[in-house]
Amino acid sequence: MPGWEVIGKEEQAAVNEVFEKGGILCAHGFDHLRKGHFATRFFESEFKDRFQAKHATAVSSGTAGLKVALKALGVGVGDEVITQAFNFIATVEAIRDCGATPIMTNIDDSLNMDPTDLKEKITSKTKAIIIVHMLGNSADMDRLMQIANENGIKVIEDNCESPGATWNDKLLGTIGDIGVFSFDMGKMITCGEGGMVITNDEQLGKFCREYPDHGHENNPDFHRGEDTREIYGFNYRMTEMQAAVGRVQLTKFNDILSSTQTKWKSLREQLSTIPSREVFNACTPMGDTVMIKVVDEDKRNEMIKASNELKVGIKNVPSAIKWHCAGYWDHILDENEFNHSQITKQILSQYVAIPINLKVASETYHKLGERILEIWTK
C-alpha cells in the first residue's frame, strides 16, 4: 500500500503551513489563533466527500478507530464480537480493550470472512461483527450483510487495507454501520500514524466525533473549557500535523489507486493459469496485492526468491503472517478461537502475496510474471 512512495515536498510544505498559521494546536478549539487553518477539520470534510459518507472523524490510528467504533456500538464486558482469522491483530486488541470476547471465523476463497462460518458463530451474546477487507479485496458483502441484518447485529467494516475498492459500485467502508481506515506508514495513503471513522448514521456519527475527544460536543455556544458533553470519552484525536499530511496524501489518492489497479489487473491476467484468491464479480479491488495459491512449497519459495531478486518483495503473506493470522495469536485468544483459526493458518500458508507498488515499473511486474509462470510450469 504505497502512500509512503509518494510522500515528499508537498506534505512537508503542508506541515510548515501548520506552523505558519498558528503553530501546533489540537484539532478543536482555539479558533482565534488559527488564521483560518483547521487541518483536521478540513481533512475530515475532504475525506467524507471522497468516501461518500455523511460523517467522518479523524483519529490517532486505525486501531483507535476500531476502538471508537466498538464503543459507539455499545460493546462492553460480556459481549462477543465476531471477526475473521485472516486479519490484523488490531481488531482483536480493540475488542479485548472493550472487555469483550473476540470470536474468530475462518475465511472463504476470497480470503475474507466466510459467511457460512459467520452464521455458525453467532450467539445471543454477539454484539457486533468486524468484517476486514484484507489486502485490497472485498469480502462477500451481500451474504455477510444479509446474515448480520437477519440477526439484528451491527457491522463495522475494517477498511484499513482496501480504501477505494468497491462492492456493486459502493465504496467499501460505507456498506456496514461504521467504516474504519488507517493512515499508518504501510497504508494506501499515510500520515505516519492516523485513522478515520466514517458512518452515515447521525447517532453513531455524533458518538464517533465525541468519544475520541474526551466527550467534547464542541458546542459553538461555549468556550472549549466550558463545553457541554453527554458521554465520557478518551483522547484519540488526530494531530494537526498528521491531518496536514493526510490532506495532501488524499489529493494523490485517485492517482495512486488507478496506478495500482492497472498494474494489478495486468499481472493478474498474466498469471491467470495459476489458482488465485477469488475476487467476486461485485468487487472492484483496490489492486495493491496479487495473491496466488501455490501448494508446492519449493515452487512457492522459488517465486518468493524471484520477487525479492526483482526488488518487488513480498507483502504480509508469508512474510508478516504472524501479525495477520489469528492462528498465531495464542497470547490474546482463548483456546477454542485459537484452534479454530488453524484452518485459516493452513490456507494462508499456501499463498504468496505480491505487492503492487508505484515505483516498481510495469515491465518489472511483467518480468516477474514470466518468472513465476516458468516456476509454476516446471
C-beta separation of 83 from 104 below 8 A: yes
**Structure letter (DSSP) for residue 226:** G
62 binds ligand PLP (CB under 6 A): yes
Specify the DSSP element, H or E, that contains 374: helix 362-377
- What's the closest the beta carbon of residue 120 comes to ligand PLP, in angstroms? 23
195 binds ligand PLP (CB under 6 A): yes
C-beta separation of 155 from 129 below 8 A: yes
Among residues 40, 57, 61, 126, the one that binds ligand PLP under rule CB under 6 A: 61
Specify the DSSP element, H or E, that contains 196: strand 195-199
184 binds ligand PLP (CB under 6 A): yes
Q: Which of residues 134-153 bind ligand PLP (CB under 6 A)?
A: none
- What's the closest the beta carbon of residue 223 comes to ligand PLP, in angstroms? 32
- Report the residue number, 144 or 372, with the smaller CB distance to ligand PLP: 144
249 binds ligand PLP (CB under 6 A): no
Residues 178 and 201: their CA atoms lie apart, in Å, by: 8
**Structure letter (DSSP) for residue 201:** -
Would you call 131 helix, strand, or coil by DSSP?
strand
- What's the closest the beta carbon of residue 89 comes to ligand PLP, in angstroms? 8
C-beta separation of 16 from 128 below 8 A: no
Residues 74 and 102: their CA atoms lie apart, in Å, by: 15
299 included as an active-site residue: no
132 binds ligand PLP (CB under 6 A): yes
- Report the residue number, 132 or 257, with the smaller CB distance to ligand PLP: 132
114 binds ligand PLP (CB under 6 A): no
* Residue ranges with strand state E in 8-119: 55-59, 80-84, 101-105
Q: How many CA atoms lie within 13 A of 79 on its CB side?
A: 22
Q: Which of residues 69-98 bind ligand PLP (CB under 6 A)?
A: 88, 90-91
Name the residue number minimizing CB distance to ligand PLP.
Answer: 62
289 binds ligand PLP (CB under 6 A): no
Residues 179 and 65: their CA atoms lie apart, in Å, by: 9
- What's the closest the beta carbon of residue 92 comes to ligand PLP, in angstroms? 10
- Report the residue number, 61 or 294, with the smaller CB distance to ligand PLP: 61
Selecting among 71, 187, 252, 315, the annotated active-site residue is 187
- Report the residue number, 88 or 368, with the smaller CB distance to ligand PLP: 88
- What's the closest the beta carbon of residue 372 comes to ligand PLP, in angstroms? 25
For the record, the C-alpha cell of 38 comes out as 483547521
- Report the residue number, 90 or 153, with the smaller CB distance to ligand PLP: 90
C-beta separation of 179 from 204 below 8 A: no
- What's the closest the beta carbon of residue 102 comes to ligand PLP, in angstroms? 13
Sign of the Cα torsion 53, 55, 61, 64 reads: negative
Question: Catalytic residue positions?
Answer: 187
Binding interface with ligand PLP (CB under 6 A): 61-63, 88, 90-91, 132, 158, 160-161, 182, 184, 195
